[in-house]
Chain A
C-alpha cells in the first residue's frame, strides 16, 4: 500500500485501492490531492492519521524508559563526568553529546530512577507523571 510522505510529523496519510474497506474517510489534504491529480489516479480511498500530541497514549513502557537512568542519565548533569574514552584514531573528531532543546519535555521530569544497572543507593527521583508530561508536550507542539 502506498503511503504518502507528509511534511507534518504528526500527520500521515494513507491511500489504498478503493476495493479495500477503510473505516474513516476524511477531507483530503491539498498535497495528497495534488499528488493524485499529478498521477492521474482517482481510484484511491484516503485515510489520514493524525494524533494530536495531547492524545498521545500513556504507554507505560514510555514512562518506564523515561524513568530509566540508562536512557536519560542523571538529569543530564553527568555528561562531563562520563565521557567515553578518547578515540584511538586521531582523525576522528567526536561531536559533543547533543544538547536537548530548552524547554524539552524531559526537562519537566525529576531525576530518573536508578536501575539495576546503575549505582545502588542513588537517590530516587519522584515518580514521573507521564500525563503531565504529555500535556506539556501537547501545549508546546500545538
Chain B
C-alpha cells in the first residue's frame, strides 16, 4: 500500500481540495483509494458531492461508516481514537495496491508528526502568500525543510494575474528544487461546484484545477516509482503536463 499525507502548516491552504482531487485522480487510473479525513471541519465530503447533512461517522470498525463515493472510500479519522497506522492497516487488508490519502489538519501536529514517520510522501500545500510561505518555518521536524525526506510542496490557488503569485511560484521552485511539485491554479469553479453539491468534473469539466491535479498526479506517480523528478517548475514542465 501507499500512503500520501496531505497537510499544510497554515490553515485554509486548500489541503482538503488537493487530497480530494488526488483521490479522484488516482481512482480514475484504476487505483483503489481510501481518503482518511483527519480534520475537524468535515468538508472533505463536499468535494465528493455530498451535502452537509450527510455525515461520516468517525471510524470505529463498521463498514457503514466508510462510504464509497465516486469509487473513493471515505473514512473519518478525526475522532476515531484509532492510531493512523492501525487504521490504515485495518483498511489495507494486505492489498498492496491500496492508496491511502490522509488529509491532516494544519493544527493537528501530533497526527502530522506520527504520519510523517511512515508516509511514502508528505505533500505540503501552500498558497502563494507571505503568510503561507512563512508557515514553512513552523514544520518543526527537527531539520530544515530542504533536508526533509519524502517531502514535497505544491503551490495551490496560484493566480498568475498577480505578480506576487508568480514570484512566489518561482521562488519556491528555485528554493526547493525536486521538493517542489508545482502548482494548482486558482479557479472559482471549485467553490461554485461545492455550492452546487457537484463534483468538479461534472460542474466544470474544463477547469484548470483538473489539469493541474492530473499533472500533479503524474509527478507523484513518478516519485513513488522512484523515477527522477526532473526540473523545478512542477506541473509546468512540458514532460509532466498531461494534455
Which A residues fall within an 8 A CB radius of B? Answer: 2-3, 5-10, 12, 14, 49, 51, 53, 56-57, 59, 61-62, 64-66, 68-74, 76, 78-79, 82-85, 87-89, 91-92, 94-101, 104-106, 115, 117, 137
| CB <8 Å contact, B179 and A71 | no
Q: For B171, list chain A residues within 8 Å (CB).
A: 56, 59, 62
Q: Which residues of chain B from 176 to 212 have any CB-CB distance to chain A below 8 Å in the complex? A: 177-179, 185, 206, 208, 211
The docked-state distance in angstroms from the alpha carbon of A59 to that of B129 is 11
| CB <8 Å contact, B174 and A104 | yes
| CB <8 Å contact, A65 and B175 | yes
Please count the residue pairs between chain A and chain B whose beta carbons lie under 8 angstroms apart in the complex.
Answer: 141
**From A73, which residue of chain B is reached at the shortest CB distance?**
B144
**Interface range, B side:** 35 or more
B129-154 toward A: CB 8 Å interface, digit per residue (1/0)? 01001101101111111111110000
Stretch at the interface among B15-23, B24-32, B48-56, B160-168: B160-168
Please pick, from B119, B134, B142, B175, the residue contacting A66 in the complex, using a CB distance under 8 A: B175
| CB <8 Å contact, A59 and B164 | yes
Q: For B173, list chain A residues within 8 Å (CB).
A: 9
Q: How far is the CB of B55 from chain A (nearest CB, A)?
A: 31
User: Would you mind naming 26 contact pairs between A and B with Cβ atoms under 8 Å apart?
Assistant: A5-B241, A5-B243, A49-B161, A51-B166, A56-B170, A62-B167, A62-B171, A65-B134, A65-B137, A66-B175, A69-B144, A70-B144, A71-B137, A71-B144, A71-B175, A73-B144, A82-B147, A84-B149, A92-B3, A95-B226, A97-B146, A97-B147, A98-B177, A100-B146, A100-B177, A105-B174
